[in-house]
Structure 1
Amino acid sequence: MTHYVELDVRPILAAGGEPFGRIMETVASLGPEEGLRLLAPFQPVPLFAALGSKGFTHQDREIGGGDWEVLFTPAVEPTATAGGVSAAKWPSPLMRLDNRGLMPPEPMVKVLGATEAMQPGEVMEVLLDREPSFLFPQLAERGHEWLGGFDSDGVTYRLFVRIGAAS
């Protein structure tokens, strides 16, 4: 279970300050089971890549009045392997899909559609409600590799897909 350290940068920005240094200091001080709950007066899109490169995924939502809440969560290393793929370090995901709450076959359709927009070697991270056993043969047929497993909560299945060369 991730514990979130809250950082509200709205007062810093309202005073004309630049919060990036404070954000990075806070991230550097986080422990292994800690994430960042950031409150900002706008959607901080540039931070998504900056913290993504440091191993964090994000979930953002508008909370009213133009303000945003973003949860930056440490990415979970894949716990299982499939398709003969080793758990060697993969590049950070460039695309993230939250397919929880969708009824089959919609999660599979969304993943396969998203793979069409990606380049060989790129990685996608997908959150699911269950192990996508019917998706695995489809990925293999298209030349993609995958790693996946349930998060420590035992509820969310986290799938990483590395795009293979076009056949």
Structure 2
Amino acid sequence: MKSSMINAKTRISELIKANPLVIDSLVELNPNFSKLRNPILRSLLARRVSISDACAIAGCKFSDFMDKMTLIGFTTDREVDLSVAKDHGNITAANTTGGFKVVELDVRPVIASGSDPLELILKSSKSLKDNECLKIINTFEPVPLINLLSKQGFRSWSERAEKDLVYTWFVKDEVNHVIPKHPTAKDNLLFNGSEFERMLDFFGPPRTRTIDVTGLEMPQPMISILENLSRLGKDEALFVYHKKLPVNLLPELEERGFKYFIKNCPDGKVNMLICKV
């Protein structure tokens, strides 16, 4: 394997792709990493979790993680240790339920079925009333979800009840409640009508690739879209026929630096146009 430079922000999926010894080495380091041997959990977590996030989830030291990766051939950049717990506006155990009505969501059956619970979680968080908090039940601390919802104005707190049982509470910030942002081209949000058509005309047929994922079962639509985007030229756009708004795909597009434009269709389906920023 060619030596690869990694740092705290490197995604676990990149490590696994670069070196097949990664999973076994991490399980040897900390048994909590055995979740990566589960193909469903690996698919959900690896592409979203960085090394620093993984250390927080598994409860291991950043330095120990990097030492293990060095042993199997990686070159490590340790200048910035991001494994220190981030402040997500944490709330204490005493006030997670005090004054709040708990809306409980157990995502373990969803994950066990092979589905991604992100869309369900986001729907639940958006429907919360001011006097309610969302309690997520999972087998691990959902660090990527915590990071995502913190950007949307949520505070959180996690409790490991048992070895494979973690409760995570989310409440809206007391001052800055979650208010949907008004769509603007600059903010990379959703568009209908003229803006979508304007971008479609801008790229035109010669620079637009088209795929139809309406007949695919989860999680194949996301996989197909991301694979096609990896082959997209600098001045090209990807036109996607989708059966619904792919809520769990949107954060991935933003993280990878893509802009997306979405047009709702009369039959409930959506058309997407995705391009590189």
**Normalised by the size of structure 2, how large is the TM-score?**
0.28
Larger radius of gyration: 2
Larger RCO (CA within 8 A; separation ≥ 6): 1
User: TM-score with structure 1 length normalisation?
Assistant: 0.45
Question: Which is richer in helix?
Answer: 2
